[in-house]
Structure 1
């Protein structure tokens, strides 16, 4: 019998996350985040994830003057080394790595290694609440 922490991360993953392109501007990414109420945008090029931009990255860029801000694209801000897990990875393993490395989000891939979803610290908190309440 599996414990609730051994369930696959996919069960608490936000599927089909909003993404942006490498050439997306700061304003475009900010708008996407606001419209979809998200704080992390996987950056995709030719159908593959090449990085991730967080709301924190955009806040740091906000200090730039207008000319500088217009020159900056997602490719300039994105984190290249994105933590990625297979959809069947136990929730406990994913949450422990996020906590140990102070990661706000990880990407979840399907069986083909393609982006399935995103698992964030907020998703982890929602999972914890469900587990504590004894929900399935």
Structure 2
């Protein structure tokens, strides 16, 4: 089974210059926990809910509030749509990662594979056993 069959297609993304409040609002509104961060058409990193909340806490106490691009994890795990789900899940487990960004053959960002998607894939595999 390839990653394209179980990923979340065309997820939301946020510009690097966006505020942390904008990122948190988008996450809460859409019920998501991870947001790829873009500069133009290029993925520069990823932010997640607990990271954004922690950064907002620091903002309140220090009065310095960075943008999404500043706090983003700059080396996200990127996989191809053709990659095997098992291989991706193993790498995520080995590296203790919560998500992988998915690219097509032309290296366009097309989806995200999260731990929630991995659990759905496991359920599909195991069925009602």
- Are the aligned partners of 1:61 and 1:69 in contact in 2 as well (CA < 8 Å)? no
Return the alpha-carbon distance in structure 1 between the equivalents of residues 14 and 61 of structure 2: 22
1:1-136 aligned within 5 A: 7-66=1-60, 68=62, 71-133=65-127
CA positional deviation for 1:62: 2.9
Q: What SS does the corresponding residue of 1:41 show, helix, strand or coil?
A: strand
RMSD (Å) for aligned C-alpha atoms: 1.5
CA positional deviation for 1:70: 6.2
* Number of aligned positions between the proteins: 128
Return the alpha-carbon distance in structure 1 between the equivalents of residues 94 and 45 of structure 2: 20
Distance 1:101 1:72, change over 3 A: same
- C-alpha offsets along residues 59-112 of structure 1, whole Å, 9 cap, x if unaligned? 211322438466310011100001000100000000000000000000010110
> Which contiguous aligned blocks of 4+ residues in structure 1 show a shift greater than 2 angstroms?
65-71
Give the TM-score taking structure 2 as reference length: 0.93
Task: Structure 2 unaligned segments of length 5 or more: list them.
Answer: none
